[in-house]
Structure 1
Amino acid sequence: MDLLLLLKAAIMGVVEGITEFLPISSTGHLILASELMNFWTKEKSDVFVIAIQMGAIAAVIYEYWAKLWGAATGLVSGEPKGRHLGISLILASIPIMLIGVTFGQTVKELLFNDISVAIGLIVGGLIIWWVEKHPPKVNAQEVENISIKEAVYIGLIQVLALIPGTSRSGATIIGAMMLGVSRKAATEFSFFLGIPVIIGAGVLDLYQSYHVFEGTQDWLVIGFGTLVSFVSALILIRVLVAYVAKRDFMVFAWYRIVSGLIILLFALTGWRLW
């Protein structure tokens, strides 16, 4: 077993767990971390980046099991709150799953690069800054209060997450806030919305690209990275929920803008830090 490869996989898992649910683009950070560490071949690394996101989403399922189970069973039992949340999540998941299946591979081939990541970070940062400076009136305090119409709009906004650097969490959280959803409810809805999207994308990508992996060691590397992302994400989820209860996302706006400009500078000049 290549211990250095496992160490790099662990670092990638930590990066995924920390960034998946923050509005700063987990995919963008993983692409950059992969290039920085010269992690695996590009083919394997691109699949790894998608696959280990399932570890982070497993942390959401673990942390919110009771509420998610209520949404699932509510679809059958008719319990109002659970049924409403379940229908909202299903409808909000449809747009990105349709677009992802149709154009996901093309997007990965064309936009999985540092310039796309930089532009996505900067544009997203400017949008977060604007929303925090002009906060809309809140009409949905809890995740169960999000209307079906709002859920569909959030689902359409989530399609932007196919562009590296945009951030699925950033798009859904800020998009929900623009529609009048509270910061806490927007964050939780973003958590839940990631479940079908990320699991679907991970399974599809592994199915389409399993041939690039060679033997048991490669799959152990993916498994180890996924486990590390689960633990890291579980910690981050608890910290983030406490954070958004008291603070805004302005720090992430500035982080995105500054880091995007630095990445763009290095990409356009050809300078390297490594």
Structure 2
Amino acid sequence: MTIFQAIILAIIEGITEYLPISSTGHMILYSSFTGIASDPFVKLFTVAIQFGAILSVVVLYFKRFFKSFDFYVKLLAAFVPAVIFGLLFSDTIDALLENPLGVAISLLVGGIVLLFVDKWFQRPLIDDSDEIDLFNAFKIGVFQCIAMIPGVSRSGASIVGGMSQGISRKAAAEFSFFLAVPTMGAATCKKMYDFFKEGHTITPYQWQLFAVGNIVAFLVAMIAIRFFISYLTRYGFKVFGWYRIIVGGIIVALLLSGVKMEVL
């Protein structure tokens, strides 16, 4: 992987991690089209640069992370389903990561859902993420597990899960951002552990790629989060739904026309 490819992947991560369009799906598609997807380091890199995106949430919402112990209890309740689901179905999830067509179909289906979600949940009862209770948090965590299917979108699944419980778009989005910290942090640690366990090593050049990737992901995610909250509050999900449908449709058309994509 070149430094240019690392920067592009980091930009994709920073833009898509907190938007409901699937960061994993976009990085799978880019690395597959560029022929670098089978490299074990690339697989690690696409997960490890999430650290930069995580840090952007902590910086933007610094006061929230040091506000009360109850905040961490709710995050833990929302995080537990992902741990259980990930341990039980890790092999299945790995198999799904190897299927670009599956990513494209997930983008299409998710896009259709986003076209209608604003109409489904028009009267929120909770308008502040601090008002989300323990049971609400746990159910959001269950919805987040759907995003283990590549192309679904972790933020999209958790936000829709929150809205289904009467939580406003803004409050659900903010809680989704907070939940990303333990979820993505655990995924990064797990991927790093597996990488070294399999006998791989990281060269000085690859450490440089990590540094560049995380810095770029951090800066881009900062911008993406601010944009998303503002846009979502005003206009809702429809534009993201159409984007997913267009991208998913293009990928399906390319694959069916015989375009070769290297699987992970």
TM-score of the pair, normalised by structure 1: 0.89
Within the candidate set 75, 79, 83, 1:97 is matched to 83
Q: Please name the residue that 1:48 is paired with.
A: 45
**Residue identity matched to 1:238:** R
Q: 1 or 2, which has the higher helix percentage?
A: 1
Specify which of 151, 155, 180 is matched with residue 169 of structure 1.
155
Q: Does the 8 A contact of 2:96 with 2:149 survive in 1?
A: no
Q: Report SS of the residue matched to 1:181.
A: coil
Q: Are 1:160 and 2:146 matched, yes or no? A: yes
Per-residue displacement from partner, 1:185-218 (whole Å, max 9, x unpaired)? 0110000001100000001101111333442112
Matched residue SS, 1:12: helix
Separation (CA, whole Å) in 2 of partners of 1:105 and 1:218: 27
Inter-CA distance 68–120: structure 2 relative to 1 (3 Å threshold): same
1:126 aligns with 2:123: no
Contact 2:143 2:157 in 1 (8 A): yes
Q: Where does residue 7 of structure 2 map in the other structure?
A: 10
| Per-residue CA distance 1:127-173 (angstroms, 9 max, x = gap) | 11121233342011000111222211111010011110000001011
How big is the shift at 1:105?
A: 4.8
Pairwise CA distance, 1:106 = 4.0
1:183 and 2:169 equivalent?
yes
CA distance in 2, matches of 1:111, 1:217: 26
Where structure 1 has 5 or more consecutive residues not aligned to the other structure, the ranges are 76-82
Of the three residues 16, 21, 25, the one matched with 2:22 is 25
Moved over 4 A (4+): none
Residues 1:35 and 2:32 are matched in the alignment: yes
Structure 2 unaligned segments of length 5 or more: list them. none
Cα contact 1:13–1:52 (8 A) shared by 2: yes
TM-fit CA distance, 1:225: 1.0
1:144-223 → structure 2 map (5 Å cutoff): 144-210=130-196, 211-223=199-211
Q: Would the aligned equivalents of 1:8 and 1:39 in 2 still touch at CA under 8 Å?
A: no
Q: Deviations over 1:210-253 (max 9, x none)?
A: 33344211222122212210111011111212222211110001
The answer (yes or no) to whether the contact 1:136–1:178 under 8 Å persists in 2 is no
Deviation at 1:257, TM superposition (A): 1.2
User: What is the CA–CA distance in structure 2 between the aligned matches of 1:247 and 1:171, rounded to whole Å?
Assistant: 18
- The count of residues paired between Structure 1 and Structure 2 equals 260
Change (3 A) 1:10 1:232: same
Distance between the aligned counterparts of 1:197 and 1:114, measured in 2? 23
| Residue identity opposite 2:228 in structure 1 | L
**Structure 2 Cα separation of the partners of residues 120 and 134 of structure 1:** 20
Q: Tell me the TM-score normalised to structure 2 length.
A: 0.92
In structure 2, the residue corresponding to 1:65 is in which secondary structure?
Answer: coil
C-alpha RMSD of the superposition: 1.9
